[in-house]
Amino acid sequence: MALYAISDLHLSLSTDKPMDVFGELWREHHLKIKENWQQNINEDDVVLIAGDISWAMKLEEAYKDLEFIHSLNGKKVFIKGNHDYWWTSITKINSLFEDMYFIQNTHFPYNEYAICGTRGWINLENTDDEHDIKVHKRELLRLKMSLDSAKKAGYEKFIVMMHYPPVTKIAVNQEFVDVLKEYRVEKVVYGHIHYDARYICENGIIDGIEYICTSCDIIDFNPIRIL
């Protein structure tokens, strides 16, 4: 049972939001994802999807995109991205498909690891906006709640998904990094950054934590193996 990851699928199978407006690289990108996914991932594998799943605004509109992911091999584990406006009641979306689990203040068991996570938020160094501060604090709390749920269940090894990168080559979101260090997280899977900004991505071990960018256009629409 291998562990893979990919993020920022930006599917729009029921909405008029073609991604090729962002370049030829994105033309029919869902077909690239499907081909790579089905070639490399088996039914007993697990795929982490770190946010920006669908462009839909409502769950009813997102259903076709979620159904597309459901049709692919393996189990899928999700966190919310900044564009996932369709994400509603966590109980409701977790009842849709047996092979798909959406994390919110919770964790997903994978062998000796607990998969934890939350969306994260922007670095507050360059803003004093009250809304950003409020969301930042809420996301910190959700990350701790997710990790605490795993600790309470007896887990000591953690992999975290965040949509916003806690570390890049140009900035460090220190409060999130402090939580990751406190819980001795081994790996952080993140997205949000896209191809034109790929030079700021951190991929590798920093202070004992491995950071892995999984934005689909950066990884050539091919889920990467984490474990």
Per-domain residue ranges of the chain: 3-225
Q: What is the mean pLDDT of the chain?
A: 95
Q: Residue 184 and residue 178: Cα distance in Å, rounded?
A: 10
Residue with tokens 């991929």: 203
Radius of gyration of the chain (CA): 16
Confidence of residue 23 (pLDDT cuts 50, 70, 90): low
pLDDT tens-digit series, residues 166-202? 999 999 999 999 999 999 999 999 999 999 999 999 9
Q: Residue 163 and residue 213: Cα distance in Å, rounded?
A: 10
Domain 3-225 CATH class label: alpha beta
* Percent of the residues in the chain that have a pLDDT greater than 70, as a whole number: 96
What does the pLDDT read at residue 166? Answer: 97
Cβ contacts of 96 within 8 Å, gap of 6 or more: 63, 66
In angstroms, the Cα distances linking 145 to 56, 85, 104, 149, 207 are: 27, 22, 9, 6, 23
What would the mean pLDDT of 111-133 be, rounded to a whole number?
94
Model-level pTM? 0.96
What does the pLDDT read at residue 151? Answer: 98
Which is nearest to 99 in space by CA: 23, 41, 185? Answer: 41
